[in-house]
Amino acid sequence: MSKKIITISREFGSGGKYIGILVAKKLGIPFYDKDIIEKIAEESGFVDEFIKRVSEYAPSKSIFAYSFIGRNAAGESIEDKIFAIQKRVISELAEKGPCVIVGRSADYILKDKFDTLNVFIYADMKEKIKRTMSFKGVNQKQAEKLIKETDKKRSINYKYYTGQDWGERTNYMLMLNSTELGVEKTADFIAEIYKKETEKE
Amino acid sequence: MSKKIITISREFGSGGKYIGILVAKKLGIPFYDKDIIEKIAEESGFVDEFIKRVSEYAPSKSIFAYSFIGRNAAGESIEDKIFAIQKRVISELAEKGPCVIVGRSADYILKDKFDTLNVFIYADMKEKIKRTMSFKGVNQKQAEKLIKETDKKRSINYKYYTGQDWGERTNYMLMLNSTELGVEKTADFIAEIYKKETEKE
């Protein structure tokens, strides 16, 4: 069986994560997102004492929630350490075989060593606001702010660690607006492309 | 039957025109590209005396080949006149029923009045060069120059007449890299999306 990995990058509120779950289910392959990758990083022992120590003084429990709050003796920021960790976790997951990975710059991390199908999911702002209000329990104004700020952060983070532009077509094989088709059909569609791609081999 | 129109915008050398022809064939609907639209414009009498007169002194026979070489009494450039003509021709073609239209800012021209499926086709530079060398009989350097210049012109022209950014995802429902799938499968794929979209109605 091919080692083809599906990576999904997505605008906040576009339904990209749920689409990823559906695609994995349709293809019978594992699904990994940010939370799962964080958990594996913690359990695997990849998270070292430096990060654990800083975490104790941080407001959130998540090891990925800090913003440039410190550097170790080697001059690495928390973010640098975290990127190195997620790189290792993602590569090890990909090594196991076909899977769907949402976010975490997986498209870039895997591009030289694995056969990847890189997908970018976006949506109309109206639809993203509706979805965010419903899933996060916030009002319209808060939803719009959350969408813009999250995507801005994703864009800056992606640029910093990959040197590439987030959402720029050359990084993806397929970019889809989920609004018109809906999440179910969008997922069908990605699963079909994946099957067609693997047929070739 | 739905009036859904497929518009295809494409990078030069990406195979977008051929993909458009295949999609139209698979769906049994008409295909229109630049050359066909120009011909209809000429035959329909939309091309007025002003443009015909200027054409006589121009190096190419095509009515679409001039670069800001003159303005009429109303202050309109040749390009402005041409954009107005292609707008009329494209709207009239769309009015007739489902079809595939490649290029000519059709996505923008039709967006408020018609139900459109807007697709953007791109490809890896290596593949675009190969295709351009083969179809235009030019060498590698010439091909690369032609690709870059053509897309630059398309981008400037699109921005000028639509106020939108060419290749920016918000303008399209679907953006596809034709290199990995190949033109045949890419066309299959667009035809399938079209069918799924029309199923909804």
Q: Which domain covers residue A134, as residue numbers?
A: 5-47+88-199
pLDDT bracket for residue B162 (50, 70, 90):
very high
Residue pair B8/B142 in contact (Cβ under 8 Å)? The answer is no
Looking at residue A159, its pLDDT comes to: 93
Asked if the C-beta of B192 comes within 8 angstroms of chain A's C-beta atoms, the answer is: yes
Looking at residue B50, its pLDDT comes to: 63
CB contact under 8 A, B175 and A175: yes
Looking at residue B114, its pLDDT comes to: 93
Contacts of A98 (CB under 8 A, 6+ apart): A1, A2, A3, A4, A5, A6, A27, A29
Number of structural domains, chain B?
1
Considering just the CA atoms, what is the radius of gyration of chain B in Å?
17
Q: Dump pLDDT digits (tens) for A175-192.
A: 999 998 899 999 999 999
Amino acid identity, residue B159? K
Sheet containing strand B31-32, edge to edge, reads: A31-32, A100-102, A5-10, A116-122, A174-177, B174-177, B116-122, B5-10, B100-102, B31-32
A98 is a domain residue: yes
Residue with more model confidence, B87 or B128:
B128
CATH of the domain at A182: 3.40.50.300
Looking at residue A170, its pLDDT comes to: 94
Q: Is the pLDDT of residue B158 over 70?
A: yes
Under DSSP, the state recorded for A163 is: S
Looking at residue A137, its pLDDT comes to: 93
Q: Could you tell me the pTM of the whole model? A: 0.86
CA–CA distance, B6 with A53 (Å, rounded to integer): 56
* Distances in whole angstroms, Cα of residue A111 to Cα of each of A8, A17, B49, B187: 13, 20, 56, 26
A181 is a domain residue: yes
B56 is a domain residue: no
Q: Specify which of A58-67, B53-62, B92-101 reaches the highest per-range mean pLDDT.
A: B92-101
CA–CA distance, B90 with B193 (Å, rounded to integer): 23
A10 is a domain residue: yes
Buried b (16+ CB within 10 A) or exposed e, B81-113: bbbebbbebbeebbeeebbbbbbbbbbbbbbee
Residue with more model confidence, B53 or A102:
A102
B169 is a domain residue: yes
| Minimum CA–CA partner of A193 in chain B | B189
Q: How close does chain A come to B80, measured CA to CA in Å?
A: 30
A138 is a domain residue: yes
Asked if the C-beta of A120 comes within 8 angstroms of chain B's C-beta atoms, the answer is: yes
Contacts of B196 (CB under 8 A, 6+ apart): A181, A185, A188, A189
Q: Where are the beta strands (DSSP E) in chain A?
A: 5-10, 31-32, 100-102, 116-122, 174-177
A139 is a domain residue: yes
CB contact under 8 A, B167 and A170: no
Partners of residue A14 in chain B, C-beta under 8 Å:
none
Q: Which two tokens stand for residue A137?
A: 């329990």
Asked if the C-beta of B193 comes within 8 angstroms of chain A's C-beta atoms, the answer is: yes
CA–CA distance, A109 with A113 (Å, rounded to integer): 9
Q: Is the pLDDT of residue B69 over 60?
A: no
User: Could you report the average pLDDT of every consecutive run of 10 residues in chain A (201 residues)?
Assistant: 82 96 97 82 69 53 49 67 85 93 92 93 97 95 96 92 94 95 93 84 54
| Minimum CA–CA partner of B176 in chain A | A174
Looking at residue A79, its pLDDT comes to: 73
B61 is a domain residue: no
